[in-house]
């Protein structure tokens, strides 16, 4: 940790409004979740940024933890980590560089209780609090939430080298224990905490999942994606049963890069449903209705370092942005119901009033033809 970290952390904390958990005196909610999938390329970062965007427009405190050394979530939230010259030289007269902000690397290296309170940054995303919700503004007039990010960069690849079993609890301590005795655990400051997990089952992935209370499984409706469901659920069960996280729970399964007309999609989902109906524990997970399509508005927003909801105000991109935002909002509302968020009923009522006509991608109706065909 650097000398400036506590000062920066205290300043950011002072500006952070109370979460619903603090407001209602709820001491141990299940409000942290991993966006998880053992297969790469399933759109975990895309959905994470969409969910964070939805949450801030719902007026919530949302924290993203970038668990991937590529740092794509950090880049999307306008928190790209850059290496700066310290003015010192090392062996071979090489310049010593350091990141220009605190990151997940420093949080893990600190190995101290509650240091997420010092290691998070605020997103660079900007919102117009006067705009209508359907044009990118807040769901509750004038109430924009807060998006925080614990950034990552390539040094995260090496942080877990040489770890022993006890080191797998580093993020758990940093997120779920208070910085000072009797204080508030960092997790409680946020309505929802989301970890954008890297694929696979490395020690770094274990440390991230060990710190979470829930996980949302993302995959594609094609052979490799369907096969990854059982592997991902096995990974979650292993962390729950063998790595001292008995409260870890699978929330559900969301399909990404979805093609409702694909022959492979229909065949794979028919096989998946048949296995579930036969009682296979390997794929025992609730399939959620919303489907995530592939839309060019997501990389466009990433290029602007802006949330996808910012494109709701542009006529050229509005319809595609509306599809993606509604899908994310529907998924987030399902998450809020599952974790028992105190404000979810009001938020859903306001949301349905704001969008009288919901996209079939958000309601799950996009899959009806495929389901009937598979049946």
User: For residue 138, what are the contacts with CB-CB under 8 A and spacing of at least 6?
Assistant: 57, 58, 59, 127, 129, 131, 144, 145
Mean predicted confidence (pLDDT) in 190-194: 98
**Res 43 pLDDT > 90:** no
pLDDT number for residue 231: 92
Listed residue (47, 90, 100) closest to 254, CA to CA: 47
| pLDDT tens per residue across span 114-151 | 999 999 999 999 999 999 999 999 999 999 999 999 99
Tokens of 309: 């909801």
- Is the pTM higher than 0.75? yes
Q: Quote the CA–CA distance of 126 and 106 in Å, as a whole number.
A: 26
HSE, CB side, 13 Å, CA atoms: give it for residue 184: 18
What confidence score (pLDDT) does residue 369 get?
A: 54
């Amino acid at each position: 940790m650097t000398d400036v970290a506590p000062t920066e952390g205290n300043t950011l904390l002072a500006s952070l409004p109370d979460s619903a958990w603090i407001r209602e005196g709820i001491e141990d909610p299940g409000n942290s979740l991993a966006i998880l999938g053992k297969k790469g390329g399933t759109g975990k970062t895309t959905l994470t940024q969409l969910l964070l965007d939805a949450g801030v427009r719902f007026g919530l405190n949302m924290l993203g933890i970038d668990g991937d050394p590529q740092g794509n979530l950090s880049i999307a939230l306008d928190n790209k980590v850059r290496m700066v010259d310290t003015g010192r030289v090392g062996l071979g007269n090489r310049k010593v560089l350091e990141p220009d902000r605190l990151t997940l690397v420093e949080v893990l290296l600190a190995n101290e209780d509650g240091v997420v309170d010092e290691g998070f940054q605020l997103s660079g995303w900007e919102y117009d609090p006067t705009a209508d919700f359907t044009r990118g503004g807040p769901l509750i007039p004038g109430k924009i939430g807060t998006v925080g990010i614990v950034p990552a960069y390539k040094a995260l690849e090496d942080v877990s080298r040489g770890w022993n079993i006890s080191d797998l609890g580093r993020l758990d301590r940093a997120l779920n224990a208070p910085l000072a005795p009797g204080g508030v655990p960092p997790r409680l400051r946020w309505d929802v905490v989301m970890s954008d997990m890297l694929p696979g089952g490395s020690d770094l992935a274990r440390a991230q999942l060990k710190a979470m209370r829930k996980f949302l499984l993302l995959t594609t409706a094609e052979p490799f994606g369907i096969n990854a469901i059982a592997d991902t659920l096995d990974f979650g069960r292993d962390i729950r049963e063998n790595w001292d996280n008995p409260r870890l729970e699978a929330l559900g399964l969301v399909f990404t890069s979805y093609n409702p007309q694909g022959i492979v999609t229909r065949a794979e989902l028919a096989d998946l449903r048949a296995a579930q109906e036969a009682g296979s524990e390997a794929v025992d997970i609730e399939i959620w209705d919303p489907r995530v399509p592939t839309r060019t508005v997501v990389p466009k927003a990433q290029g602007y370092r802006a949330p996808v909801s910012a494109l709701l105000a542009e006529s050229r991109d509005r319809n595609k942005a509306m599809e993606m935002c509604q899908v994310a909002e529907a998924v987030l509302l399902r998450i809020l119901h599952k974790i028992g968020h105190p404000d979810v009923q009001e938020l859903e009522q306001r949301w349905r009033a704001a969008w009288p006509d919901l996209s079939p991608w958000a309601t799950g109706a996009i899959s009806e033809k495929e389901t009937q065909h598979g049946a």
